[in-house]
Amino acid sequence: MIFNSFEFLLFLVAAFLIYWKLGQKGQNIFLVIASYVFYGWWDWRFLFLIFASTAVNFLAGHFISEAEGAIRRRISLVLNIVINLGILGFFKYYDFFVTTLQQALTSIGIASSSLTTLGIILPVGISFYTFQAMSYAIDVYRKNIPATKNFIDFMGFVSFFPQLVAGPIERASNLLSQFREKRVFSYPKAIDGCQQMLWGFFKKIVVADNLSGVVNNIYESAASASGWQLTLATFFFAFQVYCDFSGYSDIAIGTARLFGFSLMRNFYFPYFSKNIVQFWQRWHISLSTWFRDYLFIPLSRMSRNPLSLGSYARNILITFTVSGLWHGANWTFVFWGFLHGLYFIPYAALRNKLRLRRAEDAQPGLKDLHQILFNFLLVMFGWVFFRSENIAQAFYIIKKIFVDLQNIPSFGELYPKRLLLVGVFILAEWLQRNKAHPLQLENVAGWAKWLIYYIIIVLILAVGDFHYNPFIYFQF
């Protein structure tokens, strides 16, 4: 069941009404049932896998906390990680690695007919819930949180439907603890949740879906497109992927609020970042912090001299490359991740001199425009790899962008309506960049707020593309 569907609206209304008539225990059980219905709507066979993943991680938490001695605890953790990554690796990467191996063997003249791909269906959201469940076991091992004895609560934590298939990737310390607590309906939070959902739908249906057609057309005919067209398509893609993914996060966060849950912020106006460090403090925050806490920091601890530039750069590159691989079974994603790692290294070298401030403390202003634009261009360059079918196509497009600049497009060829849409969107986010989302309109009269909401709803209905358009990040 996707968010931008009538079925989801009916499901949400029914779930909301039933949920608030139940006591806390009943609410948790109901959320598990509702989440399994939500997830099973895609394909009921996926339910076995998510249940198995839930059971494995629940038991892992139990064994880790009950194990006597550090070695047994470590063995339990390692086993848990191997099983989780094994499941993820099989469903997501088996065919990719077999194909890569086939190509490598063929290139050196070795027959590879015995290696065959399996055509495995990728379960929706497997990357998200696997990481989410794994983080629980790791946190139990680190004694950051106690192991839970309540399997229902844990099922709810893993399968919570607002964030199940595309994040935010929650930590047990935040989300699981909320399952243990009594939830009280908060009228202001529910209203804020609805506002954030509305903004999320606007981003996804109006902005992202309307840009995707242009991007697909130009990228699929890259050979006949000019450098300007490819540049424009990449620019549009930057906003397509941002609006698609952050729109989903907004809907997830807003929906969770209707049920009394607070999810972590996942996007913090990332294109207003002044440098790449800030960008990764603002983009897909739940994933970047996951990799920081569970890969980068352990790698640093294992390094002999973690503060040296060499160790830092190596650990950054490993972390970002693996993060790229997480996004998809294609070398383009790996390269994209590696590229962002490379972007980090100068900042690592100069970090003492730059005195970089955290994203929350460093609200950008117009005086930072040159830094914002430069950083955006770096990120946009990386999106070419993210969007391309393969590495060869990515480099072909990049070459064209820099070389094929003769045919300057006319105004009509610049898709002016879509440019206007992106411009209005950027303006709205810029003006409200100090807020959690642009529809937090505290100083606006009630009737004006309703008018703005109606305009957005009409835009969603009138301009929105309601053909089947699953969220980009669902492929992960």
Partner 1 sequence: MQLLDRNIKSFIFKALLFFSPLFALAGVLLWLGVRSGELWPIQKVIDYELAHPRTTLFLKAYIPEDHRLKYYGTLRRDPDILVIGSSRAMTFREEMFAGADFYNAGRLIRSYDDLEDFVKFILPYIHPEIIYFGIDWYWLGALNQYEREAQAIVFTNDPVYDWRAELFFLKRFVMAAIKDPSLVSRIIRKQPDPISNKKAIGLIAFEGDGIRFDGSLQNGTIQEKRKVNPDYFDPIQPPILEQVRRGISHFKFNNEIDPERAAVLKKFLEEAQRRKIEVIGFSAPYSKEVYSELRTSPMQQKFFTESVQEIKKIFREAEFPYFDFHDLAVLGLDNNYMLNGSHMSETATAIALKIMTPDADPKTYLDKKINQRSTTPLEIFW
Comparison of 111 and 462: residue with beta carbon closer to partner 1: 462
| Of residues 192-211, those binding partner 1 (CB under 8 A) | 194
Member of 23, 69, 310, 412 binding partner 1 (CB under 8 A): 23
Q: Could you count the other beta carbons within 10 Å of the beta carbon of residue 470?
A: 15
Q: What is the 3-state secondary structure (H, E, C) of the chain?
A: CCCCCHHHHHHHHHHHHHHCCCCHHHHHHHHHHHHHHHHHCCCCCHHHHHHHHHHHHHHHHHHHHHCCCHHHHHHHHHHHHHHHHHHHHHHHHHHHHHHHHHHHHHHCCCCCCCCCCCCCCCCCCHHHHHHHHHHHHHHHHCCCCCCCCCHHHHHHHHHCHHHCCCCCCCCCCCHHHHHHCCCCCCHHHHHHHHHHHHHHHHHHHHHHHHHHHHHHHHHHCCCCCCHHHHHHHHHHHHHHHHHHHHHHHHHHHHHHHHCCCCCCCCCCCHHHCCCHHHHHHHCCHHHHHHHHHHHHHHHHHHCCCCCCHHHHHHHHHHHHHHHHHHHCCCHHHHHHHHHHHHHHHHHHHCHHHHCCCCHHHCCCCHHHHHHHHHHHHHHHHHHHHHHCCCHHHHHHHHHHHHHCCCCCCCHHHHCHHHHHHHHHHHHHHHHCCCCCCCCCCCCCCHHHHHHHHHHHHHHHHHHCCCCCCCCHHHHC
The residue to which tokens 């593309």 are assigned:
465
Backbone angles phi, psi at 230, to 5 degrees: -70, -35
Q: Does 444 bind partner 1 (CB under 8 A)?
A: no
Q: Does 20 bind partner 1 (CB under 8 A)?
A: yes
In a 10 Å sphere around its CB, with 0-12 CB exposed, 13-18 middle and 19+ buried, how is residue 96 labelled?
middle
Q: How far is the CB of 462 from partner 1 (least distance, A)?
A: 6
Q: Which stretch binds partner 1 (CB under 8 A): 14-22, 236-244, 367-375, 400-408?
A: 14-22
Q: Could you give the string, one character per residue 141-180, with x where binding to partner 1 holds by CB under 8 A and - elsewhere?
A: ----------------------------------------
Phi-psi category of residue 69: left, alpha or beta, with phi > 0 → left and psi -120 to 50 → alpha: left
C-alpha 213/C-alpha 59 separation (Å) is 45
Q: Does 374 bind partner 1 (CB under 8 A)?
A: no
Q: How far is the CB of 25 from partner 1 (least distance, A)?
A: 12
Member of 14, 350, 414, 461 binding partner 1 (CB under 8 A): 461
Q: Which stretch binds partner 1 (CB under 8 A): 49-57, 84-92, 303-311, 461-469?
A: 461-469
Comparison of 195 and 286: residue with beta carbon closer to partner 1: 195
Q: How far is the CB of 261 from partner 1 (least distance, A)?
A: 15
Q: How far is the CB of 248 from partner 1 (least distance, A)?
A: 19
Comparison of 345 and 457: residue with beta carbon closer to partner 1: 457
Q: How far is the CB of 251 from partner 1 (least distance, A)?
A: 16
Q: How far is the CB of 465 from partner 1 (least distance, A)?
A: 10
Q: Cβ(214)–Cβ(278) under 8 Å?
A: no
Comparison of 185 and 374: residue with beta carbon closer to partner 1: 185
Q: Annotated catalytic residue: which of 62, 284, 327, 437? A: 327
Member of 103, 117, 173, 186 binding partner 1 (CB under 8 A): 186
Q: How far is the CB of 16 from partner 1 (least distance, A)?
A: 9
The number of residues that bind partner 1 (CB under 8 A) is 21
Comparison of 32 and 83: residue with beta carbon closer to partner 1: 32
Q: Does 217 bind partner 1 (CB under 8 A)?
A: no
Q: Cβ(95)–Cβ(53) under 8 Å?
A: no
Q: Does 190 bind partner 1 (CB under 8 A)?
A: yes
Reply yes or no on whether 437 is catalytic.
no
Q: How far is the CB of 2 from partner 1 (least distance, A)?
A: 12
Q: Does 21 bind partner 1 (CB under 8 A)?
A: yes
Member of 354, 450, 451, 455 binding partner 1 (CB under 8 A): 450
Q: Does 411 bind partner 1 (CB under 8 A)?
A: no
Q: Could you count the other beta carbons within 10 Å of the beta carbon of residue 425?
A: 18
Q: Does 467 bind partner 1 (CB under 8 A)?
A: yes
Comparison of 75 and 194: residue with beta carbon closer to partner 1: 194
Member of 453, 459, 470, 475 binding partner 1 (CB under 8 A): 453
Comparison of 14 and 392: residue with beta carbon closer to partner 1: 14
Q: Does 445 bind partner 1 (CB under 8 A)?
A: no
| Of residues 98-117, those binding partner 1 (CB under 8 A) | none
| 277 contacts: CB under 8 Å, gap ≥ 6 | 344, 347, 356
Member of 97, 185, 374, 402 binding partner 1 (CB under 8 A): 185
Member of 187, 358, 411, 445 binding partner 1 (CB under 8 A): 187
By annotation, the residues acting in catalysis are: 327
Q: Which residues form the interface with partner 1 (CB under 8 A)?
A: 6, 17, 20-23, 26, 185-187, 190-191, 194, 450, 453-454, 457, 461-462, 466-467
